[in-house]
Amino acid sequence: MPEHTTESVDRLLQPRRPAPRRPMGVRAGFIHYLRPHARTIAVSTVMAVGGAALNLVGPSKLSEITDLVTEGLSTSIDLEAIGSLAALLAVLYAAGFLLSFVQGYLMAGVVQASTRSMRNDIARTINRLPLSYLDTRSTGDVLSRVTNDVDTVAQSMNQSLSSLVSSLTLLVGSATMMLLTNWIMGLAGIVTVLLGVLLMGSVMRRSQRYYAEQQTRIGTLNGHVEETYSGFTVVKAFRGEQRASDLLHEHNDALYTAAWRSQFLSGLMMPMMIFVGNLSYVVVCVVGAALALRGHISFGVIVAFMVYVRLFTQPLQTIAQVASTFQPMIAGSRRVFSLLSEREMGPDGDLAPDPQRARGEIVIDHLRFGYTPERTILTDFSARVRPGQKVAIVGPTGAGKTTIVNLLMRFYEVDAGTITIDGTEVREMSRSGLRELFGMVLQDTWTFEGTLRDNLVYNRQGVSDERLDEVCAATGLTELVRRLPQGYDTVLDEATSLSAGQKQLITIARAMIKDAPLLILDEATSSVDTRTEAVVQEAMDRLMSGRTSFVIAHRLSTIRNSDLILVLEGGDVVESGTHDELLALDGAYAELYNSQFEPAA
């Protein structure tokens, strides 16, 4: 074992956890994604202002036409003047439509570009999140954030952002024109509408809480469904259908309650604004009639005001509709930005080691690690592995065997201590470069929808059929390849039934094709029968020849020929040596070994 002074040991035992990222709030998140499109948004805003201004000129021209008609009733109507005003109105409205069309086109591009950036950032974040994040959350909840919540944000932005800019412009413009035309009628209409806006704001505050709860409930329900159907065989075997159904109904009822409340309150906004709009018409008509009877305004002003009130209440109704879509958007964006703000993996190294030149000498020095600060798995683990050695790691469940594999691959960062490969500390290497050094076969098999060839040569280029034949013969997959209709080009999907043993043989073959200088085998033969295990073990022995290999196995018969066996208990190495040496010690290893081979009482 390596030796160190007290000072060096203390230095190595200093914690090295990366600092959390700064949380991203909803407002800061949207500013972050919209800022690159500031110029487009500015141009779009100018277009919206121009379109609204052209639309706002219309009521004044209608007022002039009305006055011409009113004056002409006693004499004669000036049709030429009315025709000129009508033609001008048509041009103004056509120009306003064109500007609004371009503004909508630009804002649609901004929305789609922003949500595309958001999805790209989520993909990068997911790839850089430590496994501890996924270990502490259900798969369904993570999938809900990546798919459902992002879709909610994208759809809401697409529906609301474009109309919001034009609506706000039209709202301010129509209010200004009302005040300029007649401030008394303007104040009467605006005050009436503002009372409705205040009422709508109180409804929005209440509904937002239920929208947030709704998004959380969706994630919980998705997690339960994913968990149930992933382990459906276990559910059936233990007759847990009723329990799973009861939990589904419980989550579904909670989602129904939150969704009903949020939708009910959100649905009140549009009827409230329609009522307020109609009320403002009545107020303007009453105030306008009183002013007209006193001779303060003409009938044409009342007509203009009726249009202004419509232009004023129309964007308010649009804003009310936008507000109803904002509720799920804000709730979803909180969950999305929370994911984007999660602490990523620690800094990556710069070195990219060459697998062809790797010797495979590994030194693990005073390693300490815990999945949480309160749960320490490895307390002071040290080991030296020479190039080409086959090292077996054994011990009771929970001793930290798989944890060592996770740290070797930098799936987790150590709390203290060092791991070096050929004299280079693993934190100085890039994670991708480090993992290129390792071939890996885990206890949990993994195949994806694609051809058998794709599954075997995963992320490898230029693998010939001859090489595939050689590997399949070594792992006992030749018969499976012959039985598949298209051989290596057969698509492995739900219709292709593979046994657990066949899936494990595929993962073993995948590691052989990678041909990495270092190997990690975590219960690599746990799902194959005894006869197949003998074939695979022989192939594995040939594969491990001349390569540094780590083997984790509960069946100790598979690791008797290991060059070094490390026995873990309580996070420390309690024994180390060859199979014969450890049996001679008659200690922890001998007890484990004898317990597997002693006859049943």
pLDDT in tens, 129-154: 877 777 777 777 777 787 778 888 87
**Residues in CB range of 363: below 8 A, 6 or more apart:** 2, 383, 384, 385, 418, 419, 420
How confident is the model at residue 73, as a pLDDT? 64
Distances (CA, A) of 203 to 161, 254, 258, 260, 312: 21, 21, 15, 14, 21
Over residues 523-550, the pLDDT tens digits come to: 776 666 677 677 667 777 777 777 888 8
Q: Using DSSP bridges, classify how beta strands 518-522 and 548-552 pair: parallel, antiparallel or unpaired.
A: parallel
Contact 445, 500 (CB under 8 A): yes
Q: How far is 144 from 146, CA to CA, in rounded Å?
A: 6
Q: How far is 191 from 201, CA to CA, in rounded Å?
A: 15
Contact 71, 137 (CB under 8 A): no
Over residues 148-196, the pLDDT tens digits come to: 788 888 777 776 776 777 777 778 888 887 888 788 888 887 887 777 7
Segments making up each domain of the chain, as ranges: 26-340, 360-597
Amino acid sitting at position 280: S
| 360-597 and 26-340 share a CATH fold | no
Contact 368, 415 (CB under 8 A): yes
> Residue 531, Cα to own-chain centre: how many angstroms?
43
Q: Give me the CATH code for the 26-340 domain, please.
A: 1.20.1560.10
Q: How far is 514 from 58, CA to CA, in rounded Å?
A: 73
- The pLDDT of residue 7 is above 60: no
Which pairs from 292-296 meet CB under 8 Å and 24+ separation?
A: 296/182
Token reading at 5? 């002074």
Q: How far is 131 from 361, CA to CA, in rounded Å?
A: 26
Token reading at 402? 């798989």
How confident is the model at residue 233, as a pLDDT? 67
* Residue among 509, 511, 519 nearest 408 (CA): 519
Over residues 485-531, the pLDDT tens digits come to: 888 898 887 667 787 778 888 888 888 888 888 888 887 766 666 77
- At the second CATH level, the architecture of 360-597 is 3-Layer(aba) Sandwich (3.40)
Q: How far is 319 from 306, CA to CA, in rounded Å?
A: 20
Q: How far is 67 from 37, CA to CA, in rounded Å?
A: 46
What interhelical angle do 530-544 and 500-514 show, nearest 10? 10
Q: Where are the alpha helices (DSSP H) in 231-348?
A: 232-237, 241-267, 269-293, 299-340
Over residues 65-106, the pLDDT tens digits come to: 777 777 666 667 777 777 888 888 888 888 888 988 888 888
Q: How far is 348 from 147, CA to CA, in rounded Å?
A: 28
